[in-house]
Structure 1
Amino acid sequence: MKTKFKHLTLMATALIFGLSSCSNDDEIRVREGEGTPKSLFLKISGSSPATYAEGSVQGTGPVTFSKGLLYFTDNDGVIKSHYTIGTEATDDINIAELTTTGKAISNLPGDVSAVYIVGNTLDNLPTSGNISAVKAVVLNVETQGTITDVSLYGETTSLTSPEDPENPDAYYTCTVNLAPVVARFELTDIKASGNVITGFKIAGIFIDNYFSQATVNGSVTAGNLKDNGASAIAFNDNSEAYPESLKPFIYDWYTDLNADNNTVTPPTGAVWGYNVFATAAGSAVPRIVIRLTDITTTTASGVTYPNEQFITIKGFKKEGGASLETIKAGEVYSISTGLLNFDETDLAGTPNLSTIDVEVTVTLANWVPVAVTPEL
């Protein structure tokens, strides 16, 4: 059975930097091997505080950047300087400055050759040593549950020299694309179709085949891919596979979520939304497992369901019918209203056995929408 999905594509946020030689002799502090200090003018383009609420549909709009760390390194990755970015008085750089007039930073070491930004993630980040230690910091999937606060990362090792390097007001320039390290899945409603099923309850919605961890720079490893297999016990509230700490980030659980006119919608908000780790190049496609209880049927059908049943969305199809082979960080995969339909042939007593495909539309943060279809 096919249901239409909507795919949203995220446009990367650009951070634009200018580097110049320092024109203030009082500020020059040359360290051995670093050369003449540089000044930097930093401005963020394409990112501003947003008001996306958890549970709302993620449409076209900027990725929210609310806090972060800015690093400058030499060619070997050694951290030469770092700055906090945020909205507090204690932050080195205020986001409002970066998104309006820009911010001048003086007296950078002369051997600075690379710029790194970590957005919306501050905990456990080193501020000295090598930038490789920053990139390797591990993020857990439950930290990515709020759309306004997903982790962002960007880097550049390419600085463009000024046309006149002798001019103290001539700037070096570079661009950093600050992008999410997650993709997002959205479900708007779940509907029974056909002439057999007359009612049902949703007990749980689970993301399966997902990465439980990623590093700050968005890398994932096969060892962190969680595939919970064909086990009804696993797909339960506060189970070993889905402990309470993962709710509502990777799963939702309900005790009395009834279908109204054979359709179930989120009890709060516009969608069920789940953020999962993915790389910019593309990562494994998750599955969505839905646990149903109290299924009622027509007498004429002769079909009964004394126990819980499962729907497994095994994959997604883009508009035009091509299968979605990978998911990418910064993209939103949304199943629109009325497009996730199932009937009695899509039910199974065990998850990950009887599966469906769903057509989706894919959109891009600047969260940009694109259409897809789920496969049951």
Structure 2
Amino acid sequence: MLDYSHNHLFVLASLTIALIAGFSGLSLLQGASQMTVPVRKIVVSIAAVILGSGIWSMHFVAMLGLELPVAYYFDPLITLISALTAILFMGLALLIVHFGTRTRAKIMLAGVIMGSGIAAMHYIGMSGMELCVPSYTVPQVVMAFAASIALSMASFQVSYGHRSARNIVLGTFGFGIAVFAVHFIAMAGTGFTQSAAHATFVPPMSRGVLAFGVTLSAFVLSGSFLLSGVTFATRLGGSPEAGAVSSGPDLEPADEIVPVAVAHGEEAVQLSECRIPYESDSRTHFINPSSVSAIRAEGHYTVLYSGESKLFCPWSISEAETRIGAGPFVRTHRSYLVNLDHVTSFERKKDNGVCYFEQTPALPKVPVSRSRLADVRNRLGM
């Protein structure tokens, strides 16, 4: 067996790449489940490429820092296959959590798939080494896969247990540490021997070419990181762009308010008494609450759903509930305030429910939590 070590600068660079990819992909996906299906498919695909490329880049940046007493190279086809493996596994994991109802079981399954993809990419990439042959035992491989799956499940649980800015940041560290740790856990159980073909071998792809490819990938990831960081910062700062989901050019400012009386139980409320602000085109506009189907929490702010439009509102979900007051609006979930006049149907699940809005393409359905189920059913007259 050959003695080997790692260049500490490359080790640090590999961790940085993993963190950059994790933040870029996860922040891009924030709010993706509220997008239309065609747009969501595009966003999920881009995120899969970013996260998968991050896994691949982290691995080969670390491999460029592998110091062996003999020269070694990588087969270009196997190297490409390893990159595509990471992207495809990440794509499948993201499809599971961003399409259909998101449950804890789905989040855990996505973590299993991601973890399997990270470990599979590592061993496929290692199998492409030329002149130097890596070797490992079955228990060592099983240990690497187990660690990868456990860390990835934890990362997905943190990232998707609650979709807040804090969880995105924590999920970034979870993703980066998972990818980084799996590589070096696997490397700790790997030995290297010199290939018999060492004397006559002509490398199909030098390490310089690999370094060029990894550098290009890292550059693209860094660009994605900067763009994602700007969007993430504007959301935290309350800029109108925090609406990346918002901006309603089709809705004109409410210059004239038509009083709407809505009766619920024994109460009648004039919704015209309160107008809801939203940000668009660097201005603050106002919309009548009766035109809003639902309000969703987005960090310290909210998103208003009206027809096909999603509008960024500077109010928090609690402030919106207080200001709008009684009437047709009811809290169905800690993140949702629903206008019952826009609910077209209701579905009871095991211990929760779903409100549907056939006239609101921007938000076709809203969950009803178990603790609020009885109140919502009562308000709906069920």
What is the TM-score of this pair, normalised by structure 1? 0.23
Relative contact order, higher structure (CA 8 A, sep 6+): 1
Structure with greater helix share of residues? 2
